[in-house]
Amino acid sequence: MKPANNIIMQAEIPRVVIAGTHSGCGKTTIASGLMAALVARGCVVQPYKTGPDFIDPSHHTLICGRPSRNLDFCMMGETGIRRTFADASAGADIAVIEGAMGLFDGREGSDTASAAHVARILKAPVILVVDVHAVSRSIHAVVKGFRDFDPRVKIAGIIYNRIGSDRHRQMIAEEEFVPALGWVPRQPESEVKSRHLGLVMASESPAMKTYGRVIAETCDLDSILDLARAAPPLNVPAPVAQKTPAVRHRPVIGVARDDAFCFYYQDNLDRLARAGAEVLPFSPLSDTLPNMDAIYIGGGYPELYADALERSRCRGVIRDRAEGGMPVYGECGGLMYLCGSLDTDGRTYTMADILPGRAVMTKKLQALGYVKGAFGNPSCLWTGSVAIRGHEFHYSRVECGSDARFAIRLSHGAGISGGNDGLVEHATLGAYTHAYFTDAFCKKFVAAAAAFRKTGGRR
């Protein structure tokens, strides 16, 4: 008999949060290197990232061979964090959770959704990464401040990053009062390059994976494992009984996965599958469109591949399918691709030309933050009136005509224009919001794909 949804179970999951004093202190490199070192030891490592980031998880996934999951209170809530954590950690020897920004940096200057907040929810010990470039004894004032700032958060150890020499290490060790778990020297040759949305994707640089050797040589892996195993049992929701829809043929939702479109929450893809879809990856850069009943195009870097996207045969096929009524859902980069054109680097490229808008890359950040709203405009009937939560982060704008139709009204966030998001044409919808899908939305999307399949619309 499967447990009811309201039953709470206890789970013993070795776990640790790798957090930093601030962005740029090296925590992503340290966390990824730790994952690689543990994998090299033979451990099964389940990776996580606090917050809405897509890029760091791509490195985790490559290193660990298991999809990295986001843990974000604003999008998932406390129950959602615990459920995703417990479900994804099954079969792992250790869960390594990389924090975002500084340990206590949350939404709009608050504690909410910070790495510290997630650590409290998961009762996870914290290893703090501190950058000691050009500092020695003074770093202990920083460590003491972090240790004492919130007594609900257990800072169980420190990894000192960018050690300059043996003498530098000795000067810091003179007054150590929080256990040192690592002394990592400066490694400028191992740094991963950045671009306007963050680090480059894992497919573009293997440096994070190779950093495992450095961590194995400079950090106390045995003590880190002991620390993770000492984490107390965690109360988690019992697994939800999933009812697979009784359909002979599951509708196929094609998911754009290539260098141009690579920003996806793994939970979204899992929810679509649980709602009854077959999730089929394809590449708008190089594939001809396979047989499918709906399309999901996530975010990414279409501006870097605009020429190839313009030349790809897939572009015209997607447009034809959309004009035939196939449900298409695009987010951020996917929205840009679904527009008529994309302006970048002084050139205009023709895109899928489904949505009545023109995407324009800008040098200035256009929007950054959490999004909350609802689908409420009947102009895109397949979505219904379900709620939407997510995040937006983009250096582009979409210029729409005065007759533009929008399916989403935001109570928090910028969207495409004036708090409106979800530009609509046919059964195609494109939004700047990177949504964390609800079960209700997934059921609507899968039902729309199934209905399109029944009409014989698949070609």
- Specify the CATH number for the domain of residue 444: 3.40.50.880
pLDDT at residue 378, as a whole number? 62
Q: What is the number of H-type helices and E-type strands within the chain?
A: 14, 27
User: Do 256 and 176 share a structural domain?
Assistant: no
User: Do 305 and 209 share a structural domain?
Assistant: no
User: Do 230 and 345 share a structural domain?
Assistant: no
pLDDT at residue 189, as a whole number? 60
Which tokens is 8 given? 């709470």
Q: In this structure, is residue 227 part of a structural domain?
A: yes
User: Do 389 and 295 share a structural domain?
Assistant: yes
pLDDT at residue 10, as a whole number? 84
Q: In this structure, is residue 1 part of a structural domain?
A: no
User: Do 233 and 261 share a structural domain?
Assistant: no
pLDDT at residue 210, as a whole number? 79
User: Do 376 and 232 share a structural domain?
Assistant: no
pLDDT at residue 215, as a whole number? 96
User: Of 206, 237, 268, at which residue does a domain stop?
Assistant: 237
What's the CATH code of the domain at 99? 3.40.50.300
User: Do 210 and 286 share a structural domain?
Assistant: no
User: Do 263 and 214 share a structural domain?
Assistant: no
User: Of 181, 210, 237, at which residue does a domain stop?
Assistant: 237
CB 355 within 8 A of CB 428: yes
pLDDT at residue 199, as a whole number? 47
CA atoms within 13 A on the CB side of 381: 6
CB 371 within 8 A of CB 413: yes
DSSP 305: G
Please state the pTM of the whole predicted model.
0.92
pLDDT at residue 403, as a whole number? 85
pLDDT at residue 2, as a whole number? 42
User: Do 337 and 196 share a structural domain?
Assistant: no
- What length does the chain have? 459
| Catalytic center residues | 332
Q: In this structure, is residue 459 part of a structural domain?
A: no
Q: In this structure, is residue 164 part of a structural domain?
A: yes
* Structural domain count, the chain: 2
Q: In this structure, is residue 341 part of a structural domain?
A: yes
Residue 150 belongs to what domain range? 10-237
Kindly give the confidence (pLDDT) of every residue in the chain, 459 residues in length, as a single tens digit, with 9 standing for 90 and above. Answer: 344 456 788 889 999 999 999 999 999 999 999 999 999 999 999 999 999 999 999 999 999 999 999 999 999 999 999 999 999 999 999 999 999 999 999 999 999 999 999 999 999 999 999 999 999 999 999 999 999 999 999 999 999 999 999 999 999 999 988 999 999 999 866 555 554 444 454 454 566 667 899 999 999 999 999 999 999 999 988 766 555 555 568 999 999 999 999 999 999 999 999 999 999 999 999 877 878 999 999 999 999 999 999 999 999 999 999 999 999 999 999 999 999 999 999 999 999 999 999 999 999 999 999 999 999 866 677 998 899 999 999 999 999 988 899 999 999 999 999 999 999 999 999 999 999 999 999 999 999 999 999 987 665
Which tokens is 39 given? 């994998």
User: Do 177 and 40 share a structural domain?
Assistant: yes
Q: In this structure, is residue 3 part of a structural domain?
A: no
Q: In this structure, is residue 244 part of a structural domain?
A: no
User: Of 203, 237, 271, at which residue does a domain stop?
Assistant: 237
Q: In this structure, is residue 116 part of a structural domain?
A: yes
Contacts of 454 (CB under 8 A, 6+ apart): none
User: Do 152 and 186 share a structural domain?
Assistant: yes
User: Do 228 and 306 share a structural domain?
Assistant: no
